[in-house]
Amino acid sequence: MGYSAEIYELAEGELEKRRLRSEQALEKRRSLLYARSPRAAELERQIAKTSVAAAKEVFGGADLHSRLEELKRENLSLQKELETILTGFGFPQNFLDPWYTCPQCRDRGDVDGKMCSCMRALLRQFSYDQLNKISPLSLSDFESFSLDYYSKAPAGDARQSPNAHMTAVLGFCKKYARTFSTASRSLLFQGPPGLGKTHLSLAVAKELIDRGFGVIYVSAPALLTKLAKETMSFDYREPSSNTEQLLSECDLLILDDLGTEFSSKFTVSAIYQLFNTRMILSKPTIISTNLTLHELQDKYNPRIISRIIGSLDRVEFVGTDIRQLKRRQKRQTANDQ
Ligand SMILES: [Zn+2]
């Protein structure tokens, strides 16, 4: 699945650490045993020697079957003696084997050329970490999204109540996450602040990460600050950042709060380039914004905005600001008490 090179490096680094840890732990157990039983050290050496000798017989193609059988017998009896020593000390039979975190792949990340489940779990974990590093928010889920805050009475001349509308939006987002593929459409979450746009985009992110997709969630102001900093820094000791590559190649990019960032020539061109690259690569993106189409056109170049908006399916968020409702409820409870 589409993880970035950086995430792969992190996962491989973790596997290497695990292998090293199990080797170091094995050395400790070995010294402990040898201190108690010098005979065990001797037996291990003998076992290794007979194994090498047996291998030589096999590869040498010698038809000295009797010699090979003799070595095997010798090896077996040495192993038996070593086992007896281990049992005597109350140690398990695998005391002198490396204890891997994942015995299936021996902490190598693949089994018969196929990616091991432990590697998949690590990729997911590091993808989560990366996401939370860029975004200060923690991931939400669909279960914690409450429709109670949306009125059941239609507002103005709307045919549908906010509650009915948002029930459909929640269902749509769940289906989007459940059936997501890299061929999925890009979405625009649009509506005034406090109507659950961030909550639902984070819920989509969580579900996709759980399914093994590479997702990046980032707020537009945080992202543009980061990109600007990287563009301004000319430190030759720092290898060039792969933020842009990461953003272009992830399976789903969620850009939250578009329009709240400080607007400049740089931010406009950075946003346009990012979209253009993802459109060329046919990678889906979810943008959320508090601004209307007119406000977006005022803020950015109208041509750029129509190109971006034209490639997105619009999902409208309606209702009354939930944060305000919650504050009002709190005040109400405080007054009642
Ligand atoms: Zn494994």
Ligand 1 mean position, distance from CA 102 (Å): 5
Q: List the structure tokens of 185.
A: 């459409």
Highest mean pLDDT, choosing among 12-26, 242-256, 304-318:
12-26
Cα 104 to ligand 1 centre (Å): 5
Distances (CA, A) of 286 to 83, 112, 196, 255, 335: 60, 37, 14, 6, 41
DSSP 188-216: EEESSSSSSHHHHHHHHHHHHHHTT--EE
Mean pLDDT of 136-151: 82
Give pLDDT tens digits for 53-77.
888 877 776 566 778 888 889 999 9
pLDDT of residue 128: 64
What ranges make up the beta strands (E) of the chain?
Answer: 110-111, 114-115, 186-190, 215-219, 252-258, 285-289, 312-316
Q: How far is the CA of 95 from the centre of ligand 1 (A)?
A: 21
CB atoms within 10 A of CB 107: 23
Structural domains of the chain sorted by starting position, each given as residue range(s) with its CATH number in brackets: 22-101 (no CATH), 135-331 (3.40.50.300)
| 3 state SS of 100 | coil
- pTM score, whole prediction: 0.65
Distance 100 CA to ligand 1 centre (A): 9
Tell me, in angstroms, the distance from the centre of ligand 1 to residue 11's CA.
Answer: 11
Give 101 Cα–ligand 1 centroid separation in angstroms: 8
Strand pairing partners for 189?
288, 315
Sequential DSSP letters for 129-191? HHHHHH-SSPP--STT--GGGS-SSPPTT-SS-HHHHHHHHHHHHHHHHHT--TTPPEEEEES
- What is the 122 CA–ligand 1 centroid distance (Å)? 10
Strand-pair partners of 287:
188, 255
Phi, then psi, of 285 in degrees rounded to 5 = -135, 145
Confidence at residue 313, expressed as pLDDT on a 0 to 100 scale: 94
Residue 272's pLDDT is what? Answer: 83
